[in-house]
Amino acid sequence: MAFIELSGVYKGYGNSKERTHVLENVDLSIERGELVSIVGYSGAGKTTLVSLLAGLIFPDKGTVKVDGKVVTGPSAERGVVFQNYSLLPWLSVLENVQLAVDQVFPKLTEAERRARSMKFVEMVNLGPAAAKRPKELSGGMRQRVSVARALAMEPEVLLLDEPFGALDALTRGVLQGELQRISQESGKTMLLITNDVDEGILLSDRIIPLGAGPRASLGPATVVDIPRPRDRKELNHDPRFREIRLGVLEYLLESGKQKRAEREAAAPKSSGASPQAEAVQVAEVSP
């Protein structure tokens, strides 16, 4: 059995009359040490998928297992980097990281916990900013604190929900490089959620599209058989990179078209999304 295993997962929100059916029949297997990325439209259900794995919500049908055990709630074994950085504003960078370390390693001495926290602050290159409060940091720095905090808990699995989504392209590039390094050094199992196909290919062992919602399900997985370390600039000239990107994009476009046709068939009077609306969604997938 794979380390992470979702089978036949359905998840919706709301009461039975006005239920939003978000995920339908989602199957996913991730091996220990693998880095898998899932790329999909905004609103398709990516955070829903992460929340199921984090144990914050539960499937309507199907099973979510990590390390052979059904997920019944949050656990320090599954570190999450949320889409919004969720730092405590009154604590410094180091204290935000140490708060998590204190919870997970209560048996260590204060000095040991501090040293461990500092090690991870330095790993994300925030040593000089260790005493700063979140409001004194840039968005990219906050996101790095979030990554450091999750890593410092030494989770078995790291769940990253669009960790760089809110950042400018340059900062995003720097953090992608850092994540690539950390992933190689730590060998951790990681699930990276992104709306950027190129980022997914750059960083992962396998990339899987999440089709358009409602009732989104996962498309075929593609093994990213491009040697590491990968350089974003060089990748653009790599024929295999282009082939993978085209495959993922075509799947997403096709599933978007299909969902639009279904909507129009169900409600012929309201014509559904305009061509422009679809273009916007596609732009979100591949900025």
Report the interface residues with ligand ATP, using CB under 6 A.
13-14, 20, 22, 40, 42-48, 83, 195
What number of chain residues touch Mg ion (CB under 5 A)? 2
Two tokens, residue 223: 């093994």
Query: 3-class DSSP state for residue 40?
Result: strand
Contact partner at residue 22 from Mg ion, ligand ATP, none, CB < 5 to 8 Å by partner kind: ligand ATP
Strand partners, 35: 190
Give the residue with the Cβ less far from ligand ATP, 18 or 185: 18
How many Cα atoms within 13 Å fall on the side-chain side of residue 38? 27
Residues 203, 160: contact at Cβ < 8 Å? Answer: no
Strand partners, 154: none
Smallest separation (angstroms) from Mg ion to the CB of 219: 18
Smallest separation (angstroms) from Mg ion to the CB of 162: 6
Inter-axis angle of helices 110-123 and 139-152, nearest 10: 130
Give the residue with the Cβ less far from ligand ATP, 46 or 78: 46
Give the residue with the Cβ less far from ligand ATP, 12 or 94: 12
Smallest separation (angstroms) from ligand ATP to the CB of 11: 9
Cis ω for the linkage preceding 214 (within 30 of 0): yes
Residues 176, 208: contact at Cβ < 8 Å? Answer: no
Give the residue with the Cβ less far from ligand ATP, 14 or 33: 14
Smallest separation (angstroms) from ligand ATP to the CB of 105: 31
Cβ neighbours of residue 104 under 8 Å, at least 6 residues apart? 76, 153, 154
Residue of 64, 73, 13, 30 whose CA lies nearest to 205: 30
Give the residue with the Cβ less far from Mg ion, 117 or 195: 195
Q: Which of residues 25-64 bind Mg ion (CB under 5 A)?
A: 46-47
10 Å CB burial of residue 151 (0-12, 13-18, 19+) is buried
Smallest separation (angstroms) from Mg ion to the CB of 14: 18
Contact partner at residue 171 from Mg ion, ligand ATP, none, CB < 5 to 8 Å by partner kind: none
**CA pseudo-torsion sign 259, 260, 264, 270:** positive
Give the residue with the Cβ less far from ligand ATP, 22 or 28: 22
Contact partner at residue 45 from Mg ion, ligand ATP, none, CB < 5 to 8 Å by partner kind: ligand ATP
Residues 132, 93: contact at Cβ < 8 Å? Answer: yes
Compute the 3-state secondary structure of the chain and give helix, strand, coil in percent, each to the nearest 5: 45, 20, 35
Q: In the complex, which residue's CB is closest to Mg ion? A: 47
Smallest separation (angstroms) from Mg ion to the CB of 199: 15
Give the residue with the Cβ less far from ligand ATP, 79 or 165: 165
Give the residue with the Cβ less far from ligand ATP, 117 or 281: 281
**CA–CA separation, 189 and 99 (whole Å):** 23
Smallest separation (angstroms) from ligand ATP to the CB of 237: 29
Smallest separation (angstroms) from ligand ATP to the CB of 44: 4
Contact partner at residue 140 from Mg ion, ligand ATP, none, CB < 5 to 8 Å by partner kind: none
Residues at the contact surface with Mg ion, assessed by CB under 5 A: 46-47
